[in-house]
Amino acid sequence: MQARKLGNSGLEVSALGLGCMGMSFSYAPFPEKKEVLALIAAAVEQGINFFDTAEVYGPYTNEELVGEALAPFRDKVTIATKFGFNIQDGKMIGVSSRPEHIRQVAEGSLKRLRVDVIDLFYQHRVDPNVPIEEVAGTVQELIKEGKVKYFGLSEAGANTIRRAHAVQPVSALQSEYSLWTRQHEKEIIPTIEELGIGLVAYSPLGKGFLTGKLNDTSKFAEGDIRNTLPRFTEDALKANQTLIDLLNSFAAKRNATVAQIALAWVLAQKPWIVPIPGTTKLHRLEENIGAAAIQLTEQELKEIELASSQIKIMGTRYNEHQEKATGL
């Protein structure tokens, strides 16, 4: 698999990463541990070297799982994790990026991931009670101490990104980006391009919708986050099928799957964008990896742009409470 540079910081990773959240968080039911270990090993063997987790996924269990799975490959992989939530009694209770809390999270993540240094340390969500300069300064100290290599932000606004970057260079911004989540194109993407910051695109397959495997009759298991999301109501799934029909037409021409076209589209937007689709199934992993070999032509991209611009997506990506409170 080809490598991509996340901006100008020197951080280089595989063109596709692997989002590990769903292996133990948000998308119940979860696979057996042995299946997860085998899947992550298969990802490494097939060229993926960029893995995403967070302390709040579980909490803690996802980092432990990823740490165990990647221990045999430590010198070959880049592991990203996140701080920024207050966890009490195993539950996420609001945001917290106080300097002492960031340090506490870093120490815990180092142990759970079984590493000597955290490759990429994101602020999971902006804390309105702590100046971003203070957050960036704390991570800068951790970098100087050799506990962190690169600093990242997640779902941060343009002004916040600029202020953080002025204190400690931000290597990557992780935000949701796909053919049905494009709000960051207006201000965020131009800002990070100007500053030389890479984009790590989470949910590049629209939490499964852009695989083309869901429709208005789809049901989700208890504990699946999609049961609470406006875009996954029966009416929204039915209305948004128009976007899948569009992708299907291009998939048929390229002898590819809908998911592969959706990922190829994200990869084609900028050379410094790295999508991190998550999966718990080996055949889906292999399907996603196949997308890295698909290069959409300029004409195809124009056609997708024109057609998709005429499609109105029904439903917001999160409800108002989730936008404020979740680390997804």
125, burial (CB in 10 Å: exposed 0-12, middle 13-18, buried 19+): buried
Contact 238, 317 (CB under 8 A): no
Looking at residue 20, what is its pLDDT?
98
Choosing from 57, 122, 177, 202, the catalytic residue is 57
pLDDT in tens, 67-106: 999 999 999 999 999 999 999 999 999 999 999 999 999 9
Residues forming beta bridges with residue 51, ordered by sequence position: 18, 79
Contact 309, 52 (CB under 8 A): no
Local structure of 327: helix, strand or coil: coil
pLDDT in tens, 292-326: 999 999 999 999 999 999 999 999 998 887 776 54
- Is 60 catalytic? The answer is no
Contact 241, 216 (CB under 8 A): yes
Ordered structural domains, the chain, with CATH: 3-207+270-293 (3.20.20.100)
Sign of the CA dihedral 35, 37, 41, 47? positive
**Range list of β-strands (E), 126-208:** 148-154, 170-176, 198-202
pLDDT in tens, 28-64: 889 999 999 999 999 999 999 999 999 999 999 999 9
Give, as one character, the DSSP assignment of residue 25.
S
CA 165 from centre of chain:
20
pLDDT in tens, 125-149: 999 999 999 999 999 999 999 999 9
Confidence of residue 327 (pLDDT cuts 50, 70, 90): very low
Contact 83, 103 (CB under 8 A): no
Looking at residue 328, what is its pLDDT?
39
Return d(Cα 316, Cα 328) in angstroms, integer.
14
Residue 3 has pLDDT above 70, yes or no: yes
Q: How far apart are the first and last CA of the chain?
A: 27
Return d(Cα 93, Cα 74) in angstroms, integer.
32
